[in-house]
Amino acid sequence: MLLPLTAVSQQQQKKNGNFHLQMRRASSPVKIDGVIDEQAWKDAGITTGFHMVLPMDTSAARLRTDVRMTYDQQYIYLLVENYTEGDGPYMVESLRRDFAFLKNDNFLLFMDPFDDQTNGFSFGANAAGAQWDGLMYDGGKVDLSWDNKWTSVVKNYPDKWVFEAAIPFKTIRYKKGITTWGINFSRNDLKSTEKSAWAPVPRQFATASLAYTGNLDWDAPPPDAGPNISLIPYLLGGISKDYEKGAPAKYRRDAGLDAKVAVTSSLNLDLTVNPDFSQVDVDKQVTNLDRFELFFPERRQFFLENGDQMSNFGYANIRPFFSRRIGLGVPIHFGARLSGKLNKNWRLGVMNMQTGRQEESGLPAQNFTVAALQRRVFSRSNLGFIFINKESLNYDPSRVTDKTVYSRYNRNMGLEYNLASSNNFWTGKALLLKSYSPGKSGHDFVHAANLQYTSKVWNISWQHEYVGRNYNAEVGYVPRQGYIKLMPQVTRLFFPLSGAVLSHGPQVTATYITDEKFSRTDNETMLNYGIVFRKRNTLNIWASDTYIRLLQPFDPTNTRKDSMLTGSEHSWRTVGADYVSRPQSLFTYSLSARYGGYYGGGKRLMTNTELGYRFQPYVSIALSANYNHIQLPQPWGTNSFWLVGPRLDVTMTNTLFFTGFMQYNEQQKNINLNTRFQWRYRPASDLFIVYTDNYLPEPFYVRNRALVLKLVYWFNI
């Protein structure tokens, strides 16, 4: 078959443009049961012959995997036969949705409906039937917070496990009329320690990399999804009591609504009124020995879904937009977000949120607006623009107790160029930001850039940052201002032809930070030697040399004992090691330790342990334990902190879950208990029962506790 010239040129640009799977309309109805007895599957196009990615990417996969796809007016159907070898059970964590890829026997589909090698969707399951779904962005990352309606079944046979799924056209976004989509399939088998992909992917990249997709060729343009409006209301009831303040119990009755409206087949409008996030997982606490604000990731689904264009603008420590700043201790009244693809080259994201007033601190009601526009350039790179505005309504400065955080307004504008070569070997970013705040001008911009080269044996990167002392991102995460940072890194890998070691090699990282006058404030050089074993366990041994000049008073124990003086200089050396066990074992563990100097000529010992055991697929038990022992001159003396967190996950079925998580934080003198029961009584519709407790450990005393019952129902119009 002759292809149009434009299609030929696009496929020639793709590394795996010669891989094709034919997509034909189903010749009979399809029942999702894991049994291959319909005529539609006998007539469907089939592909096999996967390629090994790990442990080596130079041969065909040992395990056979057969994939079929078909469709009708409403659904895309997928059927996969995952053949196995040897005795023993499949290796899975649990029946929980969105499992960890490396700890499960699983099959994943990566779909690029625009064939732009940048954005898409992922669906899959582990060998026990737990579902996986997520939005794809940045050419190979998957946001698993995305949760939508689709159905699947996994059926086990003596020599294989079969995964069958039906994905509604209403669930995904795609451009009408495009008859070639990018697609790839990935399989992970822990018993054989083999990871494979249909279209071959170099081992240094994730199999999710959209630069290496093949082609899904439709026999006709995909059907129009038609009207696509989803309403997701919730009802909530709860009770809470604050024992520390001696306040009477508070009863809560609430309701709210989310809505999803498909403006076009590739552009979606999300609306929320009086949202509630009481069912969200609690943060995993850390012992805080840092001079700057700690980062805790966003967990609220409304902000995460399709939000990468806004939340990933910048770098890990230079985020002009960080959604956790919205609704911080205040109610969110309503919000809207328009996001998606305008066409193959343009992508849009616009969000507006309105919060209420907080009487205790005098914080006024606030409005947040974020707009992001992205233009694809070259084969896989893009140019992005972002605008962020936080406006305080009816602002009265005499009533606000913390004017450094809550000003009348704060605005940010930025440009970003993201580089991604066609083969993904070269990646990078260049960033320019400027802030606007009352009374702050000059030194209020950011420039940063990085460039990285990744091959099978070399990983070489350079990054530099400048953040002005008056740069202000009140809706962002920028923990440090007024600095210049340089950070080169080089990694070299070696691959033995045989033996227990799969790869090993050194890594050198240097971090050099000055103030705006180029006077050194921080310096760290680290040498790491990493070893990856064929069974996928890993070992890293490292040493570092550190220098810090304090720019403000700092308590090195964060216990409010006393502070070291501004301008004092500190230097020390540290050694450490990290080991992660084989993921295919029922009992898994990771061990970390570091020992060396600390501020003020002190000493610090840190150990961290993560233990896990699974009674697959129903019960998973985990325990994390972190210990810090710090020796300092007076007035701090000797300080020891334990942070212990046992966790229990019970997945009775793939729709019935229970989680219990306790955290004992000796530094913060707090014990927190969070339990959550979830029943997914129909696709994307849930009943949650959440119970939380906080205790003072010495003397043991209840601080506060709360119980919430929340019912969510998803239905389509």
pLDDT score, position 571:
97
Q: Degrees (nearest 5) of the Cα angle 326, 97, 108?
A: 110
Evaluate whether 183 touches 68 at the Cβ level (below 8 Å): no
Average pLDDT over residues 154-159: 92
Average pLDDT over residues 257-269: 88
Taking the CA atoms of residue 287, residue 293, residue 294 and residue 296 in that order, the dihedral angle to the nearest 10 degrees is 140
Task: Set out the domains of the chain in order of their start, with CATH numbers.
Answer: 5-218 (2.60.40.1190), 482-646 (no CATH)
Higher pLDDT, 709 or 394: 709
pLDDT score, position 70:
96
pLDDT digits (tens, 9 = 90+) for 111-125: 999 888 888 999 999
Higher pLDDT, 603 or 45: 603
pLDDT digits (tens, 9 = 90+) for 608-618: 999 999 898 89
Helices and strands (H, E) in the chain, number of each type: 4, 39
Taking 80 as the threshold, does the pLDDT of residue 493 lie above it?
yes
pLDDT score, position 56:
87
pLDDT score, position 531:
97
| Averaged pLDDT of the chain | 90
Q: pLDDT band for position 283 (50/70/90)?
A: confident
pLDDT score, position 399:
63
Nearest CA to 304 among 329, 330, 275?
275
What is the C-alpha separation between 482 and 480, in angstroms, rounded? 7
Instruction: Tell me the backbone φ, ψ of residue 529, rounded to 5 degrees.
Output: -120, 120
Taking 70 as the threshold, does the pLDDT of residue 158 lie above it?
yes
Percent of the chain with pLDDT over 70: 96
Contacts 24+ apart (CB under 8 A), 447-456: 448/314, 448/315, 448/318, 450/315, 451/419, 451/426, 451/427, 452/426, 452/427, 452/428, 453/425, 453/426, 454/204, 454/205, 454/424, 454/425, 454/427, 455/204, 455/425, 456/202, 456/203, 456/204, 456/493, 456/495
Q: DSSP string of 39-70?
A: HHHHHSEEE---EEEES-SSSB-SS-EEEEEE
**Lowest pLDDT segment from 130-139, 513-522, 590-599:** 130-139
Token digits for 72?
Answer: 């009708």
Q: pTM value? A: 0.88
pLDDT score, position 45:
87
pLDDT score, position 126:
94
pLDDT digits (tens, 9 = 90+) for 213-235: 999 999 999 988 777 888 999 99
Average pLDDT over residues 319-331: 90
Evaluate whether 137 touches 308 at the Cβ level (below 8 Å): yes
pLDDT score, position 659:
95
Average pLDDT over residues 544-572: 94
Taking 80 as the threshold, does the pLDDT of residue 366 lie above it?
yes
**Lowest pLDDT segment from 204-218, 305-319, 422-436, 531-545:** 305-319
Taking 80 as the threshold, does the pLDDT of residue 396 lie above it?
no
pLDDT score, position 398:
66
